[in-house]
């Protein structure tokens, strides 16, 4: 769970204060990191237009709000602030103490924040996106890398499972963008006679901060799910009415979908292949190739995934191939080693000896 807050449009000193308070109370949704994307432009409306700038730290909001560069930027009398996107990170993936794992993320002209969690097997299926330790190694990064490479519709189509609430600035067309699915909240309202918009993950929190600062606002409404909301600025950097587009493409599933493990930790018998999740589609897309990995899983002769993360290919007893749907797993002491036994051995004449030998090794 993370928190997203922000303000855009005609941003006054009072709006600056309200934003800082939104980000401060947003720590309740995420204490592990704070980030801000800020867009401003010269007061003389020269050709430079709105330019974006960001700051982040793996810490509570004070580390950002008290930063010298942040204070200098929002108090610069020669420039006007036109939007501020705030993010409070709850480290559901990645390193909670890492600056590079803290939002926002920037890929090309796109800089944005994400609230939600997407399984690794899903985001690794994004077209043209592959995990690597230097650039893309967690879900939020992969999403924005894909937005830059593939656009929103193709990205959403391949995000067949997971939670999304996204706010990003696209410097290529100077637009402020919003999108969410049903798994994460995001609410918006208008203020300053429609010249300003505010948003936050929690509507009650947004109402409280605006009322606390005597900011007259409209109704706080939830952004419709699977809807792309786009705000543009005119030649005088004034916020225009939004463009609203439904973005709900047909889902594209990968050729492999890992199964949640069942059974008891440390028990001699685990079954990985019963009770598939109700929302996962049929496993009928992969041809059978013995012991050939497809991503992070193996498939059996029926095209169904075998155990995820199966790093061994042979039975530890008979050295035969592990291609059956059921594999016995013995925990070899603090998960330091697992002994994989094929179904034939566990149901054959040596089953008692195997159980006695490998279960006793769990010291």
pLDDT for position 348 = 80
Is there a single domain that holds both residue 333 and residue 224? Answer: no
User: Which of 246, 276, 306 is the last residue before a domain boundary?
Assistant: 246
How many domains does the chain contain in total?
Answer: 2
Is there a single domain that holds both residue 113 and residue 132? Answer: yes
Is there a single domain that holds both residue 100 and residue 183? Answer: yes
Is there a single domain that holds both residue 208 and residue 276? Answer: no
Given a contact cutoff of 8 angstroms between Cβ atoms, the answer to whether 249 and 156 are in contact is: yes
For residue 263, what pLDDT band results from cuts at 50, 70 and 90?
very low
Give the tens place of pLDDT for each residue, 127-163: 888 766 567 888 999 999 999 999 999 999 999 888 9
Mean pLDDT score of the chain? 79
Question: Domain limits at 58?
Answer: 3-246
pLDDT for position 234 = 87
Is there a single domain that holds both residue 81 and residue 112? Answer: yes
Is there a single domain that holds both residue 193 and residue 339? Answer: no
Instruction: Tell me the CA distances in angstroms from 303 to 181, 254, 285, 308, one per residue in order.
Output: 31, 13, 7, 14
Residue 354: pLDDT above 80?
Answer: no
User: Which of 246, 264, 282 is the last residue before a domain boundary?
Assistant: 246
Is there a single domain that holds both residue 11 and residue 146? Answer: yes
pLDDT for position 144 = 96
Tokens 């990170």 belong to residue: 89
Is there a single domain that holds both residue 174 and residue 294? Answer: no
Q: What is the CA radius of gyration of the chain?
A: 25
Residue 279: pLDDT above 70?
Answer: no
List the CATH number of the domain containing 242. 3.60.20.10
Is there a single domain that holds both residue 240 and residue 292? Answer: no
- Phi, then psi, of 110 in degrees rounded to 5: -100, 130
How far is Cα 38 from Cα 55, in angstroms, rounded to an integer? 8
How far is Cα 251 from Cα 157, in angstroms, rounded to an integer? 5
Q: Coil, strand or helix: which one is 335?
A: coil
User: Which of 201, 225, 246 is the last residue before a domain boundary?
Assistant: 246
Question: pTM above 0.75?
Answer: no
Is there a single domain that holds both residue 33 and residue 92? Answer: yes
Is there a single domain that holds both residue 51 and residue 111? Answer: yes
Is there a single domain that holds both residue 135 and residue 55? Answer: yes
């Amino acid at each position: 769970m993370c928190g997203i807050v922000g303000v855009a449009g005609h941003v006054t000193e009072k709006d600056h204060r309200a934003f800082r308070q939104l980000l401060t109370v947003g720590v309740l949704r995420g204490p592990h990191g704070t980030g801000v994307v800020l867009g401003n432009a010269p007061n003389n409306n020269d050709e430079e237009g709105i330019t974006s700038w960001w700051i982040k730290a793996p810490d509570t909001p004070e580390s950002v709000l008290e930063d010298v560069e942040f204070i200098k930027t929002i108090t610069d009398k020669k420039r006007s602030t036109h939007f501020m996107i705030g993010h409070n990170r709850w480290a559901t993936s990645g390193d909670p103490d890492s600056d590079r794992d803290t939002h926002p993320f920037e890929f090309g002209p796109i800089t944005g924040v994400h609230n939600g969690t997407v399984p690794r097997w899903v985001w690794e299926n994004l077209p043209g996106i592959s995990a690597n330790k230097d650039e893309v190694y967690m879900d939020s990064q992969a999403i924005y890398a894909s937005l830059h490479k593939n656009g929103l519709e193709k990205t959403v189509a391949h995000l067949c499972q997971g939670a999304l609430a996204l706010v990003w600035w696209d410097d290529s067309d100077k637009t402020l963008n919003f999108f969410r699915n049903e798994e994460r909240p995001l609410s918006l309202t208008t203020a300053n006679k429609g010249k300003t918009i505010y948003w936050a993950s929690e509507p009650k929190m947004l109402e409280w901060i605006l009322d606390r600062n005597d900011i007259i606002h409209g109704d706080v409404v939830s952004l419709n799910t699977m809807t792309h909301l786009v705000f543009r600025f005119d030649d005088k950097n004034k916020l225009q009415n939004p463009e609203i587009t439904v973005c709900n493409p047909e889902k594209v599933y990968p050729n492999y979908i890992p199964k949640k493990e069942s059974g008891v930790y440390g028990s001699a018998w685990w079954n990985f292949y019963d009770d598939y999740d109700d929302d996962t589609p049929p496993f009928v897309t992969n041809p059978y190739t013995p012991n050939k990995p497809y991503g992070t899983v193996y498939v059996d002769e029926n095209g169904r995934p075998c155990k995820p993360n199966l790093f061994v290919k042979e039975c530890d007893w008979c050295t035969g191939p592990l291609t059956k749907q059921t594999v016995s797993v013995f925990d070899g002491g603090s998960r330091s080693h697992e002994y994989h036994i094929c179904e034939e051995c566990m149901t054959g004449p040596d089953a008692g000896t195997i159980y006695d030998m490998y279960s006793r090794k769990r010291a």
